[in-house]
């Protein structure tokens, strides 16, 4: 009961636990995968800007999966991120874009243009 009450104030404890687990796995990656993964991770938290915690935690988890796999298989870092790591990170973040804050801005822009265009059409008809 107390836990539920605290979650309402702080967000899900389960989510926090998962997040901490993902970060621990990130820290445990061998070189040079750890450095590369952390650099991408840092960018993801900016570019992704996921609004809800679940999406963010899922994204981070999938991202760690990718690097753990690469470390085990010995896939070169460059083969993972390609020639353009920024593009890679943005594309990765975009996969989770469904619930992102930017959606609200996209809607706002679309509606503003709709309203402006409707106003103009109304004027031309009269």
Partner 1 sequence: MANQLTEMLKGTLEGIVLAFLTEDPAYGYEITTRLRDEGFEDIAEGTVYALLVRIEQRGLVDVAKVPSEKGPPRKVYSINEAGRTQLAEFWQTWNFLAGRIERLRPTA
Which stretches of 29-98 are DSSP H helices?
33-47, 53-73, 77-81, 85-94
Q: Are 96 and 50 in contact, with CB atoms under 8 Å apart? A: yes
27, 65, 103, 114: which one contacts partner 1 (CB under 8 A)? 65
Q: Does 80 bind partner 1 (CB under 8 A)?
A: yes
Q: Does 95 bind partner 1 (CB under 8 A)?
A: yes
Q: Considering Cα of 49, then 79, then 77, then 22, what sign does the dihedral take?
A: positive
Q: Does 96 bind partner 1 (CB under 8 A)?
A: yes
Q: Does 79 bind partner 1 (CB under 8 A)?
A: yes
Residue 37: exposed, middle, or buried by beta-carbon count in 10 A (0-12, 13-18, 19+)? buried
Q: Does 82 bind partner 1 (CB under 8 A)?
A: yes
Print the binding letters for residues 1-40 with partner 1: x by CB under 8 A, - otherwise: ----------------------------------------
Q: Does 94 bind partner 1 (CB under 8 A)?
A: yes
């Amino acid at each position: 009961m107390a836990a539920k009450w605290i979650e309402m104030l702080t967000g899900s404890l389960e989510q926090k636990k998962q997040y901490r687990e993902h970060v621990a796995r990130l820290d445990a990656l061998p070189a040079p995968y750890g450095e590369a993964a952390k650099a991408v991770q840092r960018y993801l938290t900016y570019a992704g800007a996921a609004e809800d915690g679940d999406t963010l935690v899922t994204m981070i988890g999938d991202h760690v999966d990718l690097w753990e796999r690469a470390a085990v298989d010995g896939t070169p870092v460059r083969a993972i991120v390609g020639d353009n790591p920024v593009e890679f990170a943005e594309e990765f973040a975009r996969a989770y874009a469904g619930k992102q804050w930017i959606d609200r801005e996209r809607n706002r822009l679309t509606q503003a243009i709709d309203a402006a265009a409707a106003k103009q059409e109304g004027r031309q008809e009269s």
